[in-house]
Each structure stands twice: as C-alpha cells, then as structure tokens.
C-alpha cells in the first residue's frame, strides 16, 4: 500500500490508472493508495497524480510502505519506490488463566497467537484495556503478562491486549479471562465434652473440624464467646482448649471459638457444650477415738474429716449435729476438735456431725470416743464384830466398803489376829477366837477391786466372856493290890475360863473306896482285889459349871508302862491331816492304849479323834510343825512321843486382769499384758498362750505380746491370753485394742498409649490406679516428656508429640488422694511415624528453538522426612516432548516452535507422598 502524506486531504483528486485505488485504512485512519492484485508481482510501478489547485507539484511527497520503511519518495512526477509483498497483521487469540486469591499469575499470551507471514514481536505486547480487579505488568523481553489480583478479589475478570509483527502490523484485540480462586475458610463444627464438678477437661475441638482447600492452623484457635460459669485457656501449639468449671457449679456451660487456615481464612463460630457432672454429696465415715477417764484429747486437722470422701477440688467443713453427753466438745470447721471427759464412770461418749463441701451436706457420721477407765482404788472401812467366847463369827467386811468404779470387790488377804484365827472366803471373814479367849482382838484385811486397786482396813472383834464348863477328862490309875493310891483326877481336867476346879462329888467304886479332899481323891481297893475298878466324879468350876468323868483304876500286882514311838506326817498347805499315832505304839502287857494328852503345835491345831490326832495347819502356813502326845495303857502306864508334821506348799493360781491399749492403723504395738496381773505366791508370771484376734495377728514372746493389725484395718479388736505361774496355775484375761485410722497412699500403675505422629492423644491414667481408702484420685503433677508436651486435666493427661517426631517417649505423673497420700507412675507413649508428603517447587528453563534442555527439577524440592525423591511422572507439553530419568526432566521443543511452554511434573517420596509443580 502506498501511504499518503497526512498533508493530503480527502478532497484531493488523485488521477491514476485502474491498478490502484484511494482509500482510508479503517484501523489506522491513514489515507493511501491500494494497488490492485495485478500489481503485486511487479517490481516497479509508476503513478501520476493530479492535484487540485491548493497544491503545487513537487511540494507534496508520498511514502511507499510495503513491509518495511522507505525513504521519502520523490516528487509526484518522479518514479515510485519499490514495493515489496503485502504484510498480513498477526492474529492475537483470547486466553484464560487461573490463580488463587491474592496470588500473582504469569500468562504467556503469545503462546496461542500467530503470524502467517512473519514473527510476532514479543516486545510489542500492549495492554489496550486494563482489568478491574487487579493489575497487569508486561515483561518487555518475553511478552509474558503478570496478573496480580487485588486483595480479597475473587471470581472472574478480563483485560485486552494487542501485538505487532516484525513489520509493525498490529493485531486485533484479544481478551484474557482470569479466574481468581478464593480460599474457602475452614469449617468449625460444634463439640461436646463432659467433666466432673471442679475438674478441668482438655477438649480437642479441631478433631472434627476441616478445611475444604487447605490445612487448619492449630495456633489460630480463638475464643469468641466465653463460658458463663467457667473459664477456658487455649494451648498455644496444639489448640487444645482446657475448660475449668467455676467452683461448686454443675450443669451445662457453653463457649464459642473460631479457627483459621494456613491462608488466614477464619472459620465460622463453633459452639462447645460442656456438661459438668454434679459431684455427689460427700460421704462421712464413722470415727473412733480413745480418751482416758477424766482426760482430754486434742485432735488436729483434718480430724474427723480425714476418712471422709468428697469430690475432687472441694474442701470439707465439719458441722456438729449431736453433742457429747459425758463431757465438753469443741468441734472446729476443719475437723479438729478438743474433747474433755467429765470423769464419770462411762465406757464411751458419742457425738455426730455432717461434712459439707460448700454445696451439699453429707450423711450424719458417728464419732465414738472409747473411754479408757482409770482405775480408782476401793475404799475399805474399818469393821466391828462381836462373838461369844469359843464361838466363830462371820463378818461381811465388804458390806461397808465401796469402789468409785463400781468394781466387784473381794478380800485379797487377811492378817493374823493375836488371839484367834481369821479365814478369808473372798467376801466374808470367819473369826474364831482362841479357846477360852475373851476380850478385844483385831486383824487387818486388804480389799481389791480386781484392777490393781486395793485398800486396807481393820476389823476389831469383841469376844464376850461366857462361863465354860470344865472339861473333865477320864482318868486312869493303877495301884498294886491292897495299896491305896492318890489320884490327881483334876490334873487332866481343864476349865476354859481358868477357873479353879474342885472335886464336887465322887461315886464309890464297886471294889474299893474313894476319899475326896476336893483337890484329889484317894482310891483304896478292897482287900485282895485286883483287876479293874471304876468310879465317877463330878468336877466343879465354882461358877456353876460341872463335868463328870470316870476314873478307872487298875489294881495289879505290877503294871509295865507302854512304849510310844515318834510319828511323822505330811499334808498340803491349808489341808488337815489325820495322824494314827497309836499304830506304832505298844504295851508289854498288851493293854489297850489310848491317847491320854497332847501339847499345842505352833503352826496349827491338834485335836484327838479316837485313836488318832487331827492336825490342821494355820492358813497359808508351810514348813515343819510338831507337838507331843502321851499314850496310856489304862493301867497307869504312860509314854510320850513327838509328832512332826511337814506342811507342803500348794500353788495358788495367778490373777489375770483385762487390758486396754491403742495403736495406729498398720502399726504393731508391744503390750505388757502381765503388768497388771498378780500371783499370791509371788511366782514369776509368763504369757502361756493367746487366741488370735479377728483383725490382726499376735506374736507371744512369753513376757509380752506384739499385736499387728491387718493391713488397712481400723476399729476395735480383741483377743484373750492365758497367764501361767509356772506351777500349773493359770488365768485368762481379755485385751482390747483400739486401732485408729490413718490415710493409705494411692497405688499408681504405669500406663502406655499409642498415637500417630503429630496427633494428640488423651490418656486416662487414673483408670488403673486405686486407693485402699476409696479416696477420689487426681493427677497432682506431671513431668514434661523429651519429645512432646503434656497437659494435665487432673483426671487424664493429653499428650501431643513434637512436630516430625516418631518413636517412644515417656513421662511421669504423681497421683494424689487429696489426703496427703501420693505415688508416682510412668507413662510410655509409642508415636507411630506418618509419612509427610514432599514439597515440589516450580522450575524454569530457557533453550533455543529446536534444542533439548535438561532441567534438574529435584534440586529445589524437599521432603520433611528426608526421604529420597524421584520424578514420578511428567505432563505432556503442548509444543514439545518431556521425559524423565527419575531425577531430571528433559524437554525437547517441537520443530519451529519458539515461545513459552508450561507443563507440570509430579515428585514422589517412595512412601505414597507426592507433590506437583510447574515447569516454565
């Protein structure tokens, strides 16, 4: 086309041949000459112009443009410049691109544009219509357009551009449509959790949340609405929310939260509903304490509350319900109390209380206080008694004695009176005055209450004198035939009162005559009489008392005296013995022998009983005693011998008295059970045997016993024991042991858990722990693991491993029973490895037309697990061929192609993880 100078107007008249025409270019608005088809192949052309009157020939020049710029042509009359082949403008085609909100995108708009008769000038890309929701920037070298969306823009928009070819021909406008993909926010779903009253709970709210197009960032958990009655805190790394109920509240509580994804998009509000399970009311348990009679006990905190059960994180206070009846009680809210016993003779005192945890009252519990009696000694009062001479009297000495404790009293021992004997039967004392004694006699006795208490009193006996008739003993005498004999018949007669005796009368014998001179008699046998003659006589004490005895006179030529042999006998303590003393005596005349008289022994009494003598030892006497007796042959012959009595001691059994003591739960105690036992004989006492108690065991070493309560037992336990004196005497007594309760520590068992890499796990560590006292258990403290972090929710532990960690991790925790008892256990967590996908980064390369290029695509790719990466697949490019050897990508452009080529590749870590990136 021949381009006219702009000075030529439309009104100009151009006269030319039919081979061209005048026209206006609709695109550029330039007027010029358009040659007809036949002139295309001509090398030169000549045109003549006829101008109007406004122009002079030679003043207006024209330029010929035929694919290239040329010099200004000659004047119209000169020859035309050479015209080359007609140039066709390039074709710009519409394009499409996609990007995420806020992310720029490079668009190679020339990739689908073309020029039929030349090459596109990459530097000629021109924006003819700007986008509305972003900005564009054209690379002046490559012609690549970078589109950057405005912040928060999304959806679809467009812009327009033109291009030129190497000859400057401009294309039509082309439209580029850009789709901006908006990031979708994560979805927060409602959650539910439950916990006990006053116990915190960890809630993994992200467990059911999701992000449609990305990953939720746990560090963005934000509380948007606080709970009404509790409080919340967010773990800065895991996003776990710890909810802590308000003290003493229960029921439902709610709060809300949001979370963001890696691109900052914030979710909707998720509502969390927490059910706080109302704690059961506290349970108060009965208590047992021991106080001495009239004593005071001061029990420190927690006192009566020590064995009461209550919900975790609550504090109990003690409330008195029923007061004691036998003393004064001060009960403090912390469970401590002071009790003062009034000293009365009571075995126990009782009060009741309730435990309150700030909301609820417990049941009423009973506190028993066992009163350990303090033995009060008895009071023995002096006694008076009277009896007649020679008459035994029984005196109830205990009738006026008393014991403050109401113990049963008994007479323990009796002293020996000066003028009689006193025999103890336990309650009464039988007093027998010595024969013929009258006047005042006394003795002492000791009263005992059976619990170690005793007292002494004196018994005064008035023995009234009573005339005792004399004792007239039959007499024997012997004389030779026809020989008078003076018989001192009063010699063996007695008067208990010591009265002077006289012979009041005699009865004449059959074979002789008796003369009475009141002090003795003279018997004169009849002449020539021999043999045996008898007569009776009456003795008088001058006070009306008389007695009759018989006198036997043996009249013989010569009488030989009998022979008396000494005797010996043995008896037991307090036991009479009969001694047949005549068994070893003899008479040459074979006369019948009788016991004529006997003397009084020092340690007992001796009484004739026919041909024997009954010896009775004084109470508790032992050893050797003796007396003499005279044997008569009835014919005047007598002989004297000695009787020796051996009194063997007889063992008295010991006295075993009951014992009371106290110890602490699980604590053995040595009990000196013999300390209050006694033995009349002073024997050394030992513990012979014991019966095992119901709630413990006994070890007996002979002198004392060791009581060990069963593990965990508290309360009252009893056993009996037998005390022995070593001489066959035994007694049985009961021991009462009060075992006061103590807290038993909990038993913590080791735990294990399994989780995946990067995954939170909640471990119910208390499920296998226990407490003998059934106390509520809580996690008191935890140690941090080496490869993760833990959160203590008091009843469980939440563990989350460090990022990328897998293997075995461990930590310890301390469990507490709330009453000072703790124990430590270990938790082992096995973290299973989870493959993390690789991260492929985009790559770029430059090559010449028709020249292959090797692209080391893996050089900028990474794998969080350090896995070895390989190229798994390569997308087929539009204008060439791409292949991979597993490490690099080889791109070969197709013949004649130049421009920008884009295709993708996928990298694999060999464990199922892949990632895709673009190559430009």
Weakest mean pLDDT among 58-67, 147-156, 614-623, 844-853: 58-67
Contact 31, 12 (CB under 8 A): no
CA dihedral 771, 774, 778, 782 (to 10 degrees): 0
Do 287-370 and 751-832 show the same overall fold? yes
More confident residue, 24 or 290: 290
The conformation of residue 861, written as its DSSP 8-state character, comes to -
Q: Could you tell me what percent of the chain has a pLDDT over 90?
A: 63
Residues 6+ away with beta carbon under 8 Å from 200: 242, 243, 244, 245, 793, 794
Distance CA 65, CA 62 (A): 10
pLDDT of residue 789: 92
Strands 822-832 and 751-756: parallel
Asked whether residue 10 carries a pLDDT value surpassing 50, the answer given is: no
More confident residue, 26 or 779: 779
CATH of domain 191-277: 2.60.40.10
List pLDDT tens digits, range 236-263: 988 999 999 998 788 999 999 999 998 7
Domain ranges of the chain: 1-86, 95-181, 191-277, 287-370, 383-464, 475-556, 567-648, 659-740, 751-832, 853-919
Structure tokens at 168: 């400057």
First-to-last alpha carbon distance for the chain, in angstroms, is 41
Count of beta carbons in the 10 Å neighbourhood of residue 694: 10
Domain 567-648 has CATH 1.25.40.10: no
List pLDDT tens digits, range 467-482: 888 999 999 999 988 8
CB neighbour class for 816 (10 Å; exposed up to 12, middle 13-18, buried from 19):
buried
List pLDDT tens digits, range 420-444: 999 998 789 999 999 889 999 999 9
Asked whether residue 100 carries a pLDDT value surpassing 90, the answer given is: no
The arrangement of secondary structure in 659-740, i.e. its CATH architecture, is Sandwich (2.60)
The arrangement of secondary structure in 475-556, i.e. its CATH architecture, is Sandwich (2.60)
Measured CA to CA in angstroms, residue 786 lies from 660, 760, 828 at distances of: 57, 16, 12
CA dihedral 409, 412, 418, 421 (to 10 degrees): 90
CA angle at residue 34 from 33 to 35, to 5 degrees?
Answer: 115
Contact 557, 480 (CB under 8 A): yes
For domain 95-181, the CATH class is mainly beta
Distance CA 111, CA 92 (A): 10
Asked whether residue 717 carries a pLDDT value surpassing 70, the answer given is: yes
Mean pLDDT of 565-582: 94
Domain 383-464 has CATH 2.60.40.10: yes
Asked whether residue 843 carries a pLDDT value surpassing 60, the answer given is: yes
Residue 288, CB-side half-sphere exposure with 13 Å CA sphere: 17
List pLDDT tens digits, range 586-640: 998 788 999 999 999 999 999 999 999 999 999 878 899 999 999 999 988 899 9
Count of beta carbons in the 10 Å neighbourhood of residue 329: 17
Distance CA 512, CA 484 (A): 9
CA 803: distance to chain centroid?
Answer: 37
Domain 751-832 has CATH 2.60.40.10: yes
Asked whether residue 883 carries a pLDDT value surpassing 70, the answer given is: yes
More confident residue, 688 or 17: 688
Residue carrying structure tokens 């490079």: 106
Average pLDDT for the chain: 86
pLDDT of residue 558: 66
Measured CA to CA in angstroms, residue 317 lies from 187, 331, 339, 740 at distances of: 48, 10, 18, 21
Q: Which fold has domain 287-370?
A: Immunoglobulin-like (2.60.40)
């Amino acid at each position: 086309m021949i381009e006219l100078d702009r000075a030529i107007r439309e009104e100009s008249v151009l006269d030319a041949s039919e081979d061209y025409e005048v026209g206006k270019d609709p695109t550029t608005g330039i007027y010029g000459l358009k040659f007809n088809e036949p002139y295309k192949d001509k090398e030169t052309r000549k045109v003549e112009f006829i101008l109007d009157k406004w122009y002079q020939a030679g003043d207006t020049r024209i330029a010929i443009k035929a694919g290239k710029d040329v010099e200004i042509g000659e004047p119209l009359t000169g020859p035309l410049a050479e015209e080359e082949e007609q140039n066709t403008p390039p074709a710009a085609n519409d394009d499409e691109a996609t990007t995420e909100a806020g992310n720029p995108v490079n668009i190679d708009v020339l990739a689908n544009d073309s020029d039929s008769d030349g090459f596109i000038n990459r530097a000629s890309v021109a924006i003819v219509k700007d986008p509305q929701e972003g900005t564009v920037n054209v690379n002046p070298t490559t012609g690549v357009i970078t589109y950057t969306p405005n912040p928060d823009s999304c959806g679809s928009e467009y812009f327009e551009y033109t291009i030129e070819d190497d000859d400057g021909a401009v294309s039509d406008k082309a439209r580029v449509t850009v789709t901006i993909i908006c990031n979708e926010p994560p979805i927060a779903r409602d959650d539910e959790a439950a916990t006990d009253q006053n116990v915190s709970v960890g809630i993994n709210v992200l467990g059911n949340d999701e992000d449609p197009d990305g990953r939720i960032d746990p560090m963005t958990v934000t509380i948007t609405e606080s709970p009404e009655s509790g409080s919340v805190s967010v773990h800065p790394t895991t996003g776990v929310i710890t909810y802590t109920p308000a003290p003493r509240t229960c029921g439902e509580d709610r709060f809300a939260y949001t979370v963001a994804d890696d691109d900052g998009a914030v979710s909707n509000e998720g509502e969390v509903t927490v059910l706080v399970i109302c704690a059961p009311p506290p349970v108060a348990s009965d208590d047992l304490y021991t106080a001495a009679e009239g004593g005071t006990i001061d029990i420190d905190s927690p006192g009566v509350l020590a064995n009461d059960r209550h919900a975790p994180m609550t504090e109990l206070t003690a409330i008195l319900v029923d007061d004691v009846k036998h003393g004064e009680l001060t009960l403090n809210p912390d469970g401590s109390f002071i009790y003062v016993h009034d000293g009365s003779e009571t075995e126990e005192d009782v009060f009741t209380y309730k435990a309150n945890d700030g909301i609820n009252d417990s049941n009423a519990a009973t506190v028993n206080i066992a009163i350990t009696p303090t033995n009060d000694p008895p009071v023995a009062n002096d006694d008076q008694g009277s009896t007649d001479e020679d008459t035994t009297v029984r005196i109830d000495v205990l009738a006026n004695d008393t014991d403050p404790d109401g113990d049963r009293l008994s007479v323990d021992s009796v002293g020996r009176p000066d003028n009689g004997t006193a025999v103890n039967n336990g309650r009464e004392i039988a007093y027998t005055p010595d024969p013929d004694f009258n006047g005042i006699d006394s003795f002492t006795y000791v009263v005992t209450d059976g619990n170690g208490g005793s007292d002494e009193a004196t018994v005064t006996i008035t023995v009234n004198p009573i005339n005792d008739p004399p004792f007239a003993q039959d007499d024997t005498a012997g004389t030779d035939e026809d020989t008078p004999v003076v018989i001192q018949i009063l010699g063996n007669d007695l008067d208990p009162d010591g009265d002077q005796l006289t012979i009041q009368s005699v009865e004449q014998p059959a074979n002789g005559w008796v003369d009475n001179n009141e002090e003795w008699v003279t018997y004169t046998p009849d002449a020539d009489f021999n043999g045996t003659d008898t007569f009776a006589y009456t003795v008088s004490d001058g006070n009306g008392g008389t007695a009759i005895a018989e006198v036997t006179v043996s009249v013989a030529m010569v009488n030989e005296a009998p022979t008396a042999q000494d005797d010996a006998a043995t008896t037991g303590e307090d036991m009479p013995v009969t001694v047949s003393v005549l068994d070893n005596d003899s008479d040459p005349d074979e006369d019948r022998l009788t016991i004529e008289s006997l003397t009084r022994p020092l340690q007992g009494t001796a009484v004739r009983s026919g041909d024997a003598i009954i010896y009775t030892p004084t109470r508790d006497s032992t050893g050797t005693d003796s007396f003499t007796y005279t044997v008569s042959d009835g014919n005047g012959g007598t002989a004297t011998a000695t009787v020796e009595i051996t009194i063997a001691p007889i063992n008295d059994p010991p006295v075993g008295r009951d014992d009371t003591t106290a110890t602490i739960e699980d604590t053995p105690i040595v009990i000196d059970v013999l300390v209050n036992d006694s033995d009349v004989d002073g024997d050394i006492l030992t513990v012979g045997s014991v019966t095992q108690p119901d709630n413990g065991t006994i070890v007996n070493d002979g002198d004392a016993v060791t009581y060990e309560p069963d593990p965990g037992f508290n309360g009252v336990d009893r056993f009996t024991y037998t005390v022995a004196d070593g001489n066959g005497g035994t007694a049985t007594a009961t021991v009462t042991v009060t075992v006061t309760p103590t807290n038993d520590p909990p038993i913590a068992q080791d735990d294990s858990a399994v989780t995946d890499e990067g995954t939170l796990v909640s471990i119910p560590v208390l499920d296998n722990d226990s407490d003998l006292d059934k106390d509520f258990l809580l996690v008191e403290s935890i140690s941090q693991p080496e490869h993760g972090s833990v959160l203590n929710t008091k009843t469980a532990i939440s563990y989350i491993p460090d990022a990328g960690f897998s293997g075995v991790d461990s930590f310890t925790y301390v469990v507490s029973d709330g009453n000072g008892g703790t124990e430590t256990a270990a938790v082992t967590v096995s973290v299973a490895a989870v493959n993390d996908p690789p991260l492929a980064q985009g790559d770029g390369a430059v090559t010449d037309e028709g020249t292959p290029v090797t692209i080391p695509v893996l050089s900028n790719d990474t794998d969080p697990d350090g896995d070895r990466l390989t190229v798994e697949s390569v997308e087929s490019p539009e204008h060439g061929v791409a292949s991979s050897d597993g490490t690099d990508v080889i791109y070969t452009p197709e013949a004649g192609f130049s421009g920008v080529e884009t295709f993708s590749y996928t990298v694999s870590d060999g464990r199922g993880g892949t990632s895709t990136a673009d190559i430009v």
